[in-house]
Structures are given as C-alpha cells and as structure tokens.
Structure 1
Amino acid sequence: MSEQSAPPADRVDKDLLRIAFILVLGTFMASLDATIVSVGLDRLTEEFDASVAEIQWVSTAYLLAIVAAVPASGWLADRFGGRRTWLVAVGVFLLGSVLCASAWSVTSLIVFRVVQGLGGGLLPATGQALLARVAGPGRTGRVISVVAVVPLLSPVFGPLAGGSVLAVAPWPWLFLINLPIGGAAALLARRYVPVVAPAARRTAFDLRGALLLSPGLAVLVYGLTEVAHSRPLPATIGVAAGLVMLAAFTVHGLRTRGTPLVDPRLFTRPPFGAAALALVVLGASVFGTMFLLPLYFQSGRGMSAWEAGLLLAPQGLGAAAGSVLVNRTISKVAPRSLVVSGIVLILLGTAPFTWLGHGVPDAVIAAALVVRGFGMSMVGAPVMNIVYSRIEPEHLPRAAGALNLLNTVGGSLGTAALAVILQNRLAAHGTDVSSAFGATFWWVLGFCLFAAVAATRLPRTQPRKA
C-alpha cells in the first residue's frame, strides 16, 4: 500500500484502521512504560540500595528525555520520512528497554532510561503525523479519535500492569515487557504502514534552536521538580535558566531565515494558538490528577498499588466509551462544541475530589472518574483534528511535534505545580491528609476553567474535507 493509494473518501476502511492500530502500539508502549515503572520504584530502591532522592531520577530522567526529544520529531520526519523515523524510534526505545533490564546500578539505570525516553519521545508525534498524512483531512478526525484515547488509558492501566508484573516476575520485566509489543509493532509497520516520502524541500537542522529549546525545556522541568522536593537553590537556577533559554529560542525562531525547530509563528495562527493553549492547560489538569489520585489512594487510604490502579480503572472505561462517541460525531459536530462539552464533564468529574476531606465513598470516586474519562476523550481528538485537518500535509510533522510537546510540557509543569501545592497543603493541614488533597484539587478545577476559556476561541465550523 502506498500513500497515493489511500482513498480520499470520508469512510474509514479496514486498511486505515489497521495502520492506526499499528502506530498506536508505539504510543501505548511508551506511555504505559512511564506508569508501569513508577509502580516499581519501591522495588528498585531495595534492589539498588538507593535513596528516594536517587531513585526518583529513574522517572525524572525518562520525562526529561521525552521533553528533549519531541522538538526534533518534525525535522526528523521531514528529513528521513515518517515511517522510517517511527521505526527507528521503536528500535531506540526497545534498545533502551533491554539496557534498563540489564542495569547493574541506579546510575546505569538512569542513563539507560534517557536512551529509552529519547525513543519514546519521538513515537507519539511521529505516529500522529504519519497517520494524519495517510488518512487525509476528511478522515483524520475519526482515526485520531482512536489514537487520542491511548494517553488517557495508559496512566490508568499502568499501575495494574506494573503490579501484575511484579507479582509474578523480577523487576527487569518492568522493561522487558516492552519487547513483544515493540517487536510486533515494528514488524507490522514494515508490512502495512505506507512509506511517506521525506519533505521535497530539505531544510538544515536548526542546531542553535535545538541547543536552546530542548535543554531549556528539560532544565525548566528539572527546576520545577526541585521545587516540589523543596530544594530552593537548584530549583531557582533551573527555572531561571530554563525560562531564559526558552525566551532566547523564541527570539531565534522569529529572526532566523531558516526553518526553526518549532516555529513560534504557529501559535499566532488560528486555530493553532487556541488549540495549543487548551492542550497545555488541560494537560496540566489531566496528568496532574493522575499524579494526585494514586498518591492519595496509597497515602491517604492505605491502598496497595494494585488496589489504587483498580479504583482508577473506571476512568479508562469512561475514556473508551467517550472515544466511541467522538468517533461517530467528530465529523458532524462543531469542534468547539465537543471540546467545551468535554471540559465541562471533566469539571463535573473533578468536583467531588475537592470534598475528599469529608470522606467521599469509593462508589462516588469511581462514578466521577467515569465522567472525567468520558470528558477527556472529547477534548484531545477534536483539538488535534482541528489542527491536522487545516494544515498543509508538508507541515504535519512539525505541527504534530509542537502539539505533543505542549501536551507533554503542560503535563510536566502541571504535575510539578500540583506537587508544590500539595506539599504546602499537607504542611497546613497536618495529619488531615484527605483535606490537603481536597484543597489541592481546587487548583485542578482552576486549570479546567482556564482551558474552557481557551476552548471558546476554537472554530465553530467543522474541518475541511479532502
């Protein structure tokens, strides 16, 4: 199958669904790995006789590597082609997984997690751009509605998968579990995913931009994580240095005569600017909540990782149900209507968590998570469809990279900010842990309200069709 043979009709055929399934395996593998490993941090602490401060870098290094890799995804896909870049990213991720499984110290594990994160950071953006290119504007919305649910499911099922692995196998299998998934995805992609030619106009790699943007984002996220760990000096240096580097990149991106790694002008073009703002703020809310809830279930209610994952599962069920609705309505309903409705549902599903200090029953938490999951599935796919359906095919890789970068950064910044807020609330509430978590969730509601305001600037009309 070649790119030219993809039918322009609105109907999503079995060949396109098969391509979507193959590409989504890569995103699922990379997303799931982060939460699977987080469940095993206690086991890794014992295995390597490491301190909490040392072992948290197993997660932080992976996150920073993802943040550093995403900006380069657009240039790589333009230069080498979407499928080739995606296959190489799978290979790097699997290599990192094998190296992590063979780590002999906490230092070696952290280094190998960086390798794994570099591959994992390229997979979502490259896969989405490749899928949108193959599908064409008329079918992008429906296939993206399938792909967009994956990041919503992985934080839910990750603790369950990690708990199950550790119950029957030693810790290296937290990483080796990726091999059959990634191997199958690579083999299927070579057979069924079409080759998308590199960009006709070759552009030089924006080295100066890369030296400013990727390290700037990584240093900023590092600084915020240090704030959460109450280390003021590295936190101040990290945040200040990160902001200066990002400001310098913005100036460089506006002045350069070449093609910047991420074009700052993209954010001034409707509907990209509004879509980007909505994704950043919503990412902060969604990923921040998935940081708070497992922590509350385990520290506030004394649940095990398995029990916490089980109570989070209803959110995945809601997201799956919502994706079915979005798949059927995304080409018929105005994008703004879907996104605003989804944010309203997220608000309704988040509201009960502000009352955690009053003893919210498990049944209410489960119902709220179903509503949240349903709402989240109504936001990501329409926002991506708005952008992907209105942008020229040759610009898809860079647009996909920018959107995924914003979502990742929004989630990282939101999680770090909520960690600081939670720490302050815990100090204020003393032994009343539930009330501290409830007070923190008011900030999550604030993030959602801000996202709703941004969403009102999205277009009312449906995306153009092929």
Structure 2
Amino acid sequence: MTEAPAPPAERVDRELLRIAFILVLGTFMATLDATIVSVGLDRLTEEFDASVAEIQWVSSAYLLAVVAAVPASGWLAGRFGGRRVWLAAIGVFLLGSVLCASAWSASSLIVFRVVQGLGGGLLPATGQALLARVAGPGRTGKVISIVAVVPLLSPVFGPLAGGSVLAVAPWPWLFLVNLPIGAAAVLLARRYVPVVDPAPQRTAFDLRGALLLSPGLAVLVYGLTEVAHDRAVPAAIGVVAGVVMLAAFTVHGLRTRSTPLVDPRLFARPPFGAAALALVVLGASVFGTTFLLPLYFQSGRGMSAWEAGLLLAPQGLGAAAGSVLVNRTISKVAPRTLVVAGIVLIVAGTAPFTLLGHGVPDAVVVSALVVRGFGMSMVGAPVMNIVYSRIEPEQLPRAAGALNLLNTVGGSVGTAAVAVILENRLAATGADVPAAFGATFWWVLGFCLFAAAAATRLPRTQPRKG
C-alpha cells in the first residue's frame, strides 16, 4: 500500500533560516576542528619534541571523544532540553579550545583534546534534533538540506583553513580561532533560538548501556586505528574488545525494560535501517577519500599542505551547489530518487581516481571532485529528512544521535580501512605510489556501490507532513 502524496512543504521563513544559521555554527566548529589540526601536526611535533606516534593522538583523541559523546546526546536533550544541552556543549568545546591553546606538552594537549571532543561530539546531533523540532515535519527537509552541507564542507576546507592559520599565526591559533565563532553562537542562540521543553516523560539514564556503548565504540575505533598503523597486538585487542562490548550492548538494548541509550529496535523500523546503512557507508566513502587524496597529493605529487587543500576545494564548491538543488527539490522529488542519483554521481566522481597509476590531469581531478561534492550533498539531507519527518518529536534527539553516531563511526571505519588497504598496496607496488592509491580507490568505489544497494530500500514517496 503506497502512501498518499504529501501536501506542499511549508515555507521556510527568515526566522527559521536565522535559527538554522546559528545552530550550524556549532556543527561547523566541531566538524572543522576534526580536520583543521591535521596540517599542524608537523609543527606540533617540533613544538613539543614529540614522536609522530605520540602526536597523532592529538587527532585520534578528539575523534575517540566525539565517538564516546554522541550516544549520550539523545538522553541529555530529552532530559534537559535541546537548547540548554547545545549551549552547554558549546561551553565545553570552547573550554577545551582554550585549554588546548594553553597546552605545555603533547600529553597535556591530548588530554585537552578529549575535553574539546566531548563538547564537539554533542553539537551536530543536538543541533539537528533541535532544528528539526523547531521546523516541524513540513519544513524539515528544506532546512536540513541547507545545514547538512556543513559536515561535507568541513573536511574539505579544514586543512586549507589550518594551513592559512599557520601561515600567519603560531599554532595556538588553530584552537583560539574557535573562540569568536563560539561566542557569537552563544549570544545569538540565547536571543533567537527558542527553548524546546524536555521530553514530558523523563527516563533514567542508561548507565549500563553507556558503560558498554561509548567505551565499546571508542575501543573499536582505537583498534582500527592501530590496524592502520600496523600494530597487530593492540589492534587485535581493541577490535575484539570493541566488538564484544557492542554485542553486549545490543543484547542489553533488546532486553532492558527501560529506555536504552540507543535503541537497537530503531534500526528495524523502516526506513531507519536503510537510511542508517546508507549513511554509514557514505561516511566511509567520504572520509576515506578525504584521507586518501591529500596524502596522494603530498606524497605522490610532492604538493604542499596548502596546495593539496586548495586542490580539494572544488569538492566543497560542488557540495554547496548541490545543496541549492536539493533545497529546491527535496519536497518534490522522492527521497530514494535523490539519494540514488547522488550516489551515482559520487561513483562517477570517484572512478577517475582508480586510474591514478596511469596519470590523471589536474583538470580531470578538479572536475571529478566537483561531481563528487554535488553527489554528496544529494545524500545526507534527504536521508535525514526521511528519518526526522517520520519519527515522533520526542524521539528526535535519540534518532539524531543515532544517525550522527553511525556517520561518525562509518567515517572512522572507512578511514582505517582505506589506510590498511593503502599500506598493503604500497608494499605490493613498491615505488609506484600513484598505482597504489589508484588500487585503493577501487575499494572506495565498492563502498559507494554498497551504499547504493542500501538506498534502493528507501521510500519511493514523500513522508506525510503533520
């Protein structure tokens, strides 16, 4: 039985756009900070006289903290209200930024990055849920299509922004640059973002679930990171321990009579399961490519970090252009059509990189990145609109937390997977670095095709507006 056609979408007025802009500032800071530091790792290695193995934890610690924080975002927003949690997360993130800028050693910087990551992990999910709640089902699609482009732009422009900062200022400004943005976000939110009441029925915090899910995810991501660095024993311990803890959480989530931190049953509810799978695989593809291309430009073609970041910029421009199209069509075109078309464009934009071993001109690289960016913008917003428009308002914080968690984990797993594959290809091809990168991109294509298969299970029709 097919659903009735949806009535015309409600108009997105200036007030809602202003709220969206304010909330997206938090997402912008959190996602940008995950990558802006990457180009400063060499500078930090010299500053603190640290080894490469030690300084890479400046990035890894932030990522693990984000992964650990996301699962709690739904319960916190339901318990204390979305705006209050979002403002508190901004505060924690800014505190972490100040502490990072004041670090006196590599160890202290790593600890302070954990503080920053805990705040950053709460911002995207809490902001999306709050925005969807304020917008209502009739306007969610259009407004989400505007803000969903930010996580796509941040990994592209992060290294470019980091290189720009280091060109004119010392390393602490990699973190201090967050302060004016965060301060503006807090002041504007207190004035313009409405208060959304907590859930009417307060639930107890799922302590057992939290002790299994967040550490389990963090340990799993740690294990995958160690796989990428070819450290067998910690990798095996991390992956096995993480999988066991996540399996135990799933059993707990299905058996508990109280509300679990993330309800495994959500993934059995159509279209949530298909949407979640598409986001996981898309995250693996997007972040895997964002990891591979700068590395190829620098190690395979001898470019500087600034040049590599500049060559990646067309992907961000494509994503911005695609978001305009999605904003105009998201209420008129079936979600599955948009998502599948977007994945097809990602495949088309990824295919040229499988030929890196044969020499790919810069013009082809730029064109492929524009096409990839355009396709990426056609996936995230429709998928989130499907979920946010079909779920009860009180469930929005938990659903947003689950989707952001899966996207983050997908990105982490994808990055670790392509790093391992690249390492093996480099060992097999020897001095032929472009050929090794080209072979690795065949796996990225495989991720995209898997996402396309998941997308075929998305709804043919628009959700009912209520």
Kindly state the Cα deviation for residue 160 of structure 1 after the two structures are TM-superposed. 1.3
Alignment match, 1:131: 131
Alignment match, 2:143: 143
- Describe how 1:17-166 pairs up with structure 2 within 5 A: 17-166=17-166
Contact 2:340 2:455 in 1 (8 A): yes
- AA partner of residue 392 (structure 2): E
Kindly state the Cα deviation for residue 159 of structure 1 after the two structures are TM-superposed. 1.3
Q: Distance in 2 between matches of 1:402 and 1:175?
A: 28
**Runs of at least 5 residues in structure 2 that lack an aligned partner in the other structure:** 1-7
Contact 2:253 2:262 in 1 (8 A): yes
Q: Distance in 2 between matches of 1:151 and 1:393?
A: 24
Q: Distance in 1 between matches of 2:199 and 2:34?
A: 32
Q: Report the secondary structure of 2:56's partner residue.
A: helix
- Describe how 1:194-273 pairs up with structure 2 within 5 A: 194-273=194-273
- Describe how 1:233-382 pairs up with structure 2 within 5 A: 233-382=233-382
- AA partner of residue 294 (structure 1): P
Kindly state the Cα deviation for residue 419 of structure 1 after the two structures are TM-superposed. 0.4
Q: Distance in 2 between matches of 1:53 and 1:416?
A: 16
- AA partner of residue 180 (structure 2): P
- AA partner of residue 285 (structure 1): S
Q: Distance in 2 between matches of 1:279 and 1:189?
A: 29
- AA partner of residue 355 (structure 1): L
- Describe how 1:1-20 pairs up with structure 2 within 5 A: 10-20=10-20
Contact 2:281 2:450 in 1 (8 A): yes
Q: Deviations for 1:296-333, whole angstroms, at most 9, x for unmatched residues?
A: 01111111111001000000000000000000000000
Contact 2:352 2:365 in 1 (8 A): yes
2:387 counterpart of 1:417? no
- AA partner of residue 82 (structure 2): G
**Runs of at least 5 residues in structure 1 that lack an aligned partner in the other structure:** 1-7
Q: Distance in 2 between matches of 1:56 and 1:162?
A: 16
Q: Deviations for 1:78-117, whole angstroms, at most 9, x for unmatched residues?
A: 0000000000000000000000000000000000000000
Contact 2:19 2:131 in 1 (8 A): yes
- AA partner of residue 231 (structure 1): R
Q: Deviations for 1:1-58, whole angstroms, at most 9, x for unmatched residues?
A: xxxxxxx970000000000000000000111111110110000000000000000000
Q: Report the secondary structure of 2:92's partner residue.
A: helix
Q: Distance in 2 between matches of 1:389 and 1:97?
A: 35
Alignment match, 1:5: none
Q: Distance in 1 between matches of 2:34 and 2:71?
A: 19
Alignment match, 2:4: none
Paired residue total:
459
Q: Distance in 2 between matches of 1:317 and 1:164?
A: 18
Q: Distance in 2 between matches of 1:18 and 1:392?
A: 24
Alignment match, 2:458: 458
- AA partner of residue 323 (structure 2): S
Q: Report the secondary structure of 1:40's partner residue.
A: helix
Q: Report the secondary structure of 2:462's partner residue.
A: coil
Q: Distance in 2 between matches of 1:154 and 1:307?
A: 17
| Identical residues among aligned pairs (%) | 90
Q: Distance in 2 between matches of 1:283 and 1:265?
A: 22
Q: Report the secondary structure of 2:391's partner residue.
A: coil
Kindly state the Cα deviation for residue 155 of structure 1 after the two structures are TM-superposed. 1.0
Q: Distance in 2 between matches of 1:427 and 1:69?
A: 37
- AA partner of residue 22 (structure 2): I
Alignment match, 1:4: none
Instruction: Please give the TM-score of this superposition, normalised by the length of structure 1.
Output: 0.98
- AA partner of residue 253 (structure 2): G
Q: Deviations for 1:118-152, whole angstroms, at most 9, x for unmatched residues?
A: 00000000000000000000000000001110011
Q: Distance in 2 between matches of 1:463 and 1:335?
A: 9
Q: Deviations for 1:339-379, whole angstroms, at most 9, x for unmatched residues?
A: 00000000000000000011101110000000000000000
Q: Distance in 2 between matches of 1:205 and 1:147?
A: 30
Q: Which moved more, 1:152-161 or 1:90-99?
A: 152-161
Q: Deviations for 1:155-192, whole angstroms, at most 9, x for unmatched residues?
A: 11111111110011000000000000011001100000
- AA partner of residue 21 (structure 1): F
Kindly state the Cα deviation for residue 464 of structure 1 after the two structures are TM-superposed. 1.4
- AA partner of residue 72 (structure 1): A
- AA partner of residue 138 (structure 1): G
Alignment match, 1:440: 440
Alignment match, 1:404: 404
Q: Report the secondary structure of 1:10's partner residue.
A: coil
Q: Distance in 1 between matches of 2:159 and 2:268?
A: 39
Q: Distance in 1 between matches of 2:45 and 2:267?
A: 42
Q: Distance in 2 between matches of 1:332 and 1:257?
A: 40
Q: Deviations for 1:194-216, whole angstroms, at most 9, x for unmatched residues?
A: 00000000100000000000000
Instruction: Please give the TM-score of this superposition, normalised by the length of structure 2.
Output: 0.98
Q: Distance in 2 between matches of 1:451 and 1:169?
A: 41
Q: Distance in 2 between matches of 1:244 and 1:160?
A: 39
- AA partner of residue 400 (structure 1): A
Q: Deviations for 1:55-79, whole angstroms, at most 9, x for unmatched residues?
A: 0000000000000000000000000
Contact 2:9 2:331 in 1 (8 A): no
- AA partner of residue 226 (structure 1): E
Q: Report the secondary structure of 2:341's partner residue.
A: helix
